[in-house]
Amino acid sequence: MMKQYEEAKAACGEALLLFRMGDFYELFHQDAQDAAQLLGLTLTSRDKGENPVPMAGFPHHQLESYLGKLIRLGRRVAICEQVEDPKKAVGIVKREVTRVVSPGTVTDDSLLDPRESNYLLSVVRPSPARPPHDEFSLTHDPACQPVGMAWVDLSTGSFEAAMLTESRLPDELARIAPVEILLPDSVQIPKLLTQAVTTRRPDWTFSTKLAQERLTQQFGTQTLEGFGFTSNDQLAVRAAGAILEYLRDTQRTALHHIDRIVPYRTGCSLELDESSRRSLEIQRSLHDGQRDGTLLSVLDCTVTAMGSRLLSQWLASPLTNIAQIRDRLDAVESLVRNPSQADKLRRSLRETYDLQRLLARVATGRAMPRDLAFIGQTLQKLPELRQTLASLTAPLLRRLHAEIDLCSDVADDLRQSLADECPHTLQEGGVIRLGYDARLDELRELAAGGKRWIAEYQARQVRESGIPSLKVGYNKVFGYFIEITNAQRDRVPDHFIRRQTLKNAERYVTEELKEYEEKVLAADQQAKEREYELFTALRERIQSATRRMQHTASMLAQLDVFAGFADLARRRDYCRPEPLTEPTIEIADGRHPVLDLREADGTFVPNDTLMHLPDAVILLITGPNMAGKSTYIRQVALLTLMMQVGSFVPARSARIGVADRIFARVGAGDRLAHGQSTFMVEMTEAARILNGATAASLVILDEIGRGTSTYDGVSLAWAIVEYLHNQIGCRTLFATHYHELTDLEQSLHGVTNLNVLVKEWEETIAFLHKIAAGAADKSYGIHVARLAGVPRPVQLRAQEILQQLEESHARHAHYPAGGNEPADSLAPAGELRVDVGAADAPLLRPHLRTRPRVRRSSDLQLTLFAPYDHPLLDELRSLNVAALGPEAAVQLLRSWQQQLQQEREESRLR
């Protein structure tokens, strides 16, 4: 048997092998040690002699839960089953690896999140490097190298492939979020920023020849042109072939539900790079990578798993085509305006099941009777769904109406054949409805009648033998028997044949009883076989209609997303946004979708946004930390994204120019673990934005330049804004606490200063979260430190240092090159407070410039870390030492000392 084990183990590579032995799954050697640690199993040993073999195991009925744990830990698991009946086996029972399960090949319902797609992805690069004398290969930028990629969701059958450039790989991986990635053995891949498990596969499984073979086999076509692939898509096709080969290796079953492959073309949807996707917390929160607190969690008001998965896909690839956006908005509006129909649709949808995953189980031959019953129940809901849809007029809803195939033939078939209370599995019987098949009914009657016969037989034997306690019973080992207690042993008739002796009784059989037993058991067995036959035939009929039902399933998913959008829009009072071709943003009373829901009702402060060419393309938002800058700029990006997905938005009104890309650089990022410094990450992201943004993009930048010395930081931030303004001209929201940047408003037409209002009284401040025109007057850093609970002595000392700095800086101010400082800027800092708490401060009227610029106290925070020149140093620099006599020198030194002592005295008195 261990030889059998070794063979199975050799065939399944590094996967943990679960080896079925009787009622247990056992693991041996290193697998046993790993499993003991991962699953908390007890480690024992098989051969206690000289070479003990480590062993661990668990009862077979716990397979699902242990399998789930191992997969979640990113392990691959091979399952080796007994493939013949141990009773009938001659010698050792035959065993075979029946499937290999990995994160990307899970199909078990209990191991999948119903709301998430489960993608297995493969990546392939061009074949070995060109010879070095090839000039092209020497000069070619590796970032522009082509890459082929394909991804499949085995649990639904969706299969796509794409050609990309190397540089887009991380963004596409972030968009698709696969759980497992297949890579050729020989390829060196830089660390990919994904949570996915990497599976190495032999190079030949990525070859063109194999791909052609597998793909044509799978789809029954000679070429893939019919699916929209061309000769330029070689690498994509190779990646797809590698996936099919892997599935063939691991699944060992037909995969009829993968019946097409769709070419994915980059550039057809709104592009979001990996870090922008993270920063905006679209599907995963920055804090713990979960759904909570994300845009998805707000938007997902779907009532089916299919709708939920589709919404995730839409959020991963928002639209850029204005007509398509309008179509979706029309559908949502139609449902918002017809709440009773919308509610009715949602009620019906709630009663449907996950048709996509059910059909995938049918196609892989793993569907259980209950699965077919669920398909039947879902199909039965279609007529009423379609009828409700009939009265809605939006073009997309009309299309859904037309394309929902009722599949009434399949529905009728299922209704007629399956029992009402259909059991989960086949073992118990009772799957096929009574009256469906005459032969089955006959066998069932015989089996049931046989049982009745036993009761009658018992009564007859009691009568004839005169033993009232005589009983007819049944057990698995001896079959039917007659049991007579020892007290009545003398009265046992002669034709009873003794079978078994118990403590207080004897068990007998008779010829008549044996005959009947055979008949009954045979009928029972035949009924089960007949039922199995009927069930598999039914499953095959359902399978042949898979494609039609898959299409209907995708219509239901869309309907669910629209109805969810409409429900959210009504509940939260969202408005229909107007998508525009020009890069304008006009939002009245916009709210951040996540905070709006999270904060107590009515406490989120709505804000306006006004961006348009040529006056207000770049909004510079200043204000203290915690004022709401970052919330505001994210809000604008999220509303734009929501519109491009087809959702209404949390605002009173919104007109938004469709963006081709959204870039978001928010916060310092958390990639230190990946070996990059905060500043390096920040600058890499800035570089991506500056190289990738177009005039149609939307850029939000939060506190750029923070990770370096202050002068460096301001200069970089300054130059970045200038570049965005002069070279790209895209809509940009820039939140910063570098007040120096607000000077840009003067030199760059198109830059508008905004600030977040703060109310100050006595020693404390209140954040009003209201965006107003103009630059903030100070940064309130020390106030915020107080709110955060920094000890009082630190606050006081900071106050003292700030005052010193303000004073000396007011005397010797420096401005970044290009800052055309007005003459009044040297006014003493203390006189410059502006009451920003005034409720009637001018809101968002970019033409209203709050000039002249005044010197702000907060500018001086700059000098904390920057070299500061004392005036004496200038004197020293220009001093002609050679011409200075000893006495004059001593006098000069004394006067300098006095001056410094006096300065210190003055600052102490303050």
- Give residues in contact with ligand ADP (CB under 6 A): 595, 599, 604-605, 607, 623, 625-631, 735, 769
For residue 622, give the nearest of 776, 838, 837 by alpha carbon. Answer: 776
Furthest C-alpha separation in the chain? 147
CB of 630 to ligand ADP, least distance (A): 3
Report how far apart, in Å, the C-alpha atoms of 691 and of each of 142, 563, 697 are.
16, 39, 12
Report how far apart, in Å, the C-alpha atoms of 138 and of each of 43, 131, 141, 419, 424 are.
56, 9, 8, 69, 62
- Quick count: other Cβ atoms within 10 Å of Cβ 233? 21
Residue closer to ligand ADP (CB basis): 351 or 599: 599
Residue closer to ligand ADP (CB basis): 628 or 657: 628
User: What are φ and ψ of residue 758, in 5° steps?
Assistant: -135, 140
Q: How far is it, in rounded angstroms, from Cα 705 to Cα 712?
A: 7
Q: How far is it, in rounded angstroms, from Cα 304 to Cα 312?
A: 13
For residue 645, give the nearest of 285, 337, 312 by alpha carbon. Answer: 312
The answer to whether 577 and 654 have CB atoms below 8 angstroms apart is: yes
CB of 759 to ligand ADP, least distance (A): 14
Helices (H), 573-599: 593-598
Residue closer to ligand ADP (CB basis): 546 or 861: 861
Residue closer to ligand ADP (CB basis): 125 or 769: 769
Residue closer to ligand ADP (CB basis): 7 or 292: 292
Q: How far is it, in rounded angstroms, from Cα 68 to Cα 101?
A: 10
CB of 855 to ligand ADP, least distance (A): 23
CB of 848 to ligand ADP, least distance (A): 21
3-state SS assignment for residue 349: helix
CB of 703 to ligand ADP, least distance (A): 8
Residue closer to ligand ADP (CB basis): 155 or 631: 631
Element holding 875 (H helix, E strand): helix 871-878
Residues 6+ apart with CB under 8 A from 417: 432, 433, 436, 534, 538
CB of 757 to ligand ADP, least distance (A): 11
CB of 700 to ligand ADP, least distance (A): 11
Residue closer to ligand ADP (CB basis): 361 or 629: 629
CB of 606 to ligand ADP, least distance (A): 7
User: What are φ and ψ of residue 589, in 5° steps?
Assistant: 50, 50
DSSP letters spanning 146-211: EEEEEEEETTTTEEEEEEEEGGGHHHHHHHH--SEEEEETT---PPPSS-PEEEEE-GGGG-HHHH
Residue closer to ligand ADP (CB basis): 579 or 624: 624
3-state SS assignment for residue 6: helix
CB of 863 to ligand ADP, least distance (A): 22
- Pairing mode of beta strands 180-184, 197-201: parallel
Residue closer to ligand ADP (CB basis): 241 or 628: 628
Report how far apart, in Å, the C-alpha atoms of 821 and of each of 492, 508, 615, 738, 818 are.
122, 114, 22, 16, 9
Report how far apart, in Å, the C-alpha atoms of 613 and of each of 146, 619, 662, 753, 849 are.
37, 12, 18, 15, 17
3-state SS assignment for residue 705: coil
Residue closer to ligand ADP (CB basis): 604 or 663: 604
CB of 861 to ligand ADP, least distance (A): 15
- Quick count: other Cβ atoms within 10 Å of Cβ 237? 27
3-state SS assignment for residue 99: strand
Residue closer to ligand ADP (CB basis): 631 or 644: 631
CB of 612 to ligand ADP, least distance (A): 22
CB of 207 to ligand ADP, least distance (A): 52
Residue closer to ligand ADP (CB basis): 160 or 777: 777
For residue 238, give the nearest of 149, 128, 105 by alpha carbon. Answer: 149
Q: How far is it, in rounded angstroms, from Cα 274 to Cα 193?
A: 9
Q: How far is it, in rounded angstroms, from Cα 791 to Cα 660?
A: 48
Q: 259 is written with which tokens?
A: 């019946």
For residue 266, give the nearest of 182, 178, 173 by alpha carbon. Answer: 173
Q: How far is it, in rounded angstroms, from Cα 711 to Cα 230?
A: 53
The answer to whether 543 and 367 have CB atoms below 8 angstroms apart is: no
Residue closer to ligand ADP (CB basis): 342 or 627: 627
Residue closer to ligand ADP (CB basis): 181 or 773: 773
Residue closer to ligand ADP (CB basis): 441 or 589: 589
Using alpha carbons only, what angle is made at residue 250 by residues 244 and 256, rounded to the nearest 5 degrees? 50
CB of 742 to ligand ADP, least distance (A): 15
CB of 652 to ligand ADP, least distance (A): 14
Residue closer to ligand ADP (CB basis): 148 or 623: 623
For residue 845, give the nearest of 674, 687, 609, 557 by alpha carbon. Answer: 609
Residues 6+ apart with CB under 8 A from 177: 119, 194, 195, 196, 283, 316
The answer to whether 115 and 309 have CB atoms below 8 angstroms apart is: yes
Residue closer to ligand ADP (CB basis): 788 or 823: 788
CB of 702 to ligand ADP, least distance (A): 7
Using alpha carbons only, what angle is made at residue 819 by residues 815 and 825, rounded to the nearest 5 degrees? 65
CB of 163 to ligand ADP, least distance (A): 39
CB of 854 to ligand ADP, least distance (A): 22
CB of 635 to ligand ADP, least distance (A): 8
Residue closer to ligand ADP (CB basis): 369 or 707: 707
